[in-house]
Structure 1
Amino acid sequence: MRRARAVVEGPHFRIDTVDCADDHAGWSRPERSVATQIVLVRRGRFRLDSEGRELVADPTTGYLHAPGVEERFAHPAGGDVCTSITLVGDALLAGLPEPRSPEVRVDARLELAHRLLLRALPFRATGAAGAAAPGPDSLADSLAETVVGLLGLALRDRPDERPGPGRGELARRAREAVVADEPGSDDLVGLARSLETSPSHLSRTFRHHVGMTVSRYRNRVRVSRALSRIEEGETDLAALALGLGFSDQAHFGRVMRAELGATPGRVRELLGEHPPPRSGRAPRPEAGVAAVGGAGRALHDAAQLALDRQQVVAELLAE
């Protein structure tokens, strides 16, 4: 069963969150897309067959399809939660690279921008008690720029279409093994052994079809899990680092900075509901905020956090 909830809609796009509870290893009946859509996964994974081209969609890989494309889905790992951005017409695609493949490589910056955008949207769309929400035209125009940025980031790093070493199927199976934490997937030799190939062949094939080394992809998956855990409320970064397989918290921090350009602590501030003050002292209430007590402070903090998230999304999409 698939449930979609509209988050925001403008004249040229619509953003929905999609919760799919399907749990079947076999392919679904064919569906035909009715509009251009980009789908980014927040949780879970599933398989997609787009007119004979198969891919695995997970937080590191989304997909883009044009109107009229026939697709089938399989959910061997259970349900998933995605964000669907549907384009109305082709105005927002003008000037962007022509899609050559349904596969969208989602680097850590794009994933963080995606998560932050969803966290900021409810505040932007509704405002808060005592605060004026942005006008519909202003909000739609601002979000249109954000959607264009998301599309540009998603389309800038397309899979290599040239024939490469080995089969794409081998790279897909290796990627699935890493995402699923299958036995032996935590090192190249063990992964190659489980896939009945040599480490050198797997390394060359994986790098060509996925665009990075196996070890970097493993870290990319760990960063994705870290984002999900932090968004769910995890605050103990040392325990999180060890639980994700990093040697220590310093190693975790180095990988996060390399992939995101931000420390785990900064990511916790942005994705958390109640970010801690940036210094050891409580912040001084601004004029007008202290007068309304705790409720005023909470509203002020929520507004500031929404602005911080919007700013970071803009910075991530501009890189």
Structure 2
Amino acid sequence: MRSAVRLGTGSGFTLDAVTCHDDHRRWSPPETSSDYRVVLVRRGRFRRKADGRAAVVDPTMAYLGIPGEEEHFAHPGGGDVCTSLCVTPDLWRSLAGDNTAPSRSTIYVDARLDLAHRHFLAAARTGDTAFELAEALLPLLSTALAQLTPMPVRRGRTPASSEVIVEGAREAIAAGHPAADGLLPLAEFLAVSPYQLSRAFTRELGISLTHYRNRVRVGRALDHLEGGAANLALLAAELGFADQAHLTRTVRRHAGRTPAALRRLLAPPGPSPARPSRTADGEPRP
């Protein structure tokens, strides 16, 4: 028996926590997928066979599944819990370059990849799939791809400088361009790889693209709070946050105070209540 819980969905990828309760030594019927899949084990172990080659998959050994590949599984050790990252062929080509058929499918999970995996799962809990989760996706895949394929090379194009990339991204974010709704579409809009875009911000500004984009959104939130915005849930939706809690966490991280506290601090004072007129005797007039 197998169950899956969707942890996040981004532009061209999905993230699931998969729990398997099977306990069998025989190979399962064949399974295929239309996407690329990087599967990392969080707990337990199982066997996988693809293209006639079998391998043991556990927390130290992940695997890459390729579209159309026929897979079989066996679970001689009982159940397991895995993270399954599915990537569409278009996004995979963008990240992996021309080599879409690696010579092997097993991926050794060293401490760097283990940490990238844990960071990716933590990013999924923030609710920011367009930027924070997408940016956490890049070191996870680049670390895995380093074992399988060379880093992508863009042929026929002069690489843009980090300064030019950052300037173009900042302009798109400031203008509210639709492509700026996510890291991956923004990279496509700027005609650079997601790796180039992410690294350009770290190189030029010393901060991540996610941090910069959130800084811009926090500035806009402060403008609204200064104007007396009352409904924080509506404000969160307007600024593209997952929900009010996401807005509160992000504003506190950047400004050191919650939106409610900042609203009290920044909002203009309301008009003083009118004082009732009184008679010569000091009594309120009717």
Give the TM-score of the pair, scaled to structure 1.
Answer: 0.44
Give the TM-score of the pair, scaled to structure 2.
Answer: 0.49
Which has the higher relative contact order, 1 or 2, with Cα contacts under 8 A spaced 6 or more apart? 1
Q: Higher Cα Rg: structure 1 or 2?
A: 2
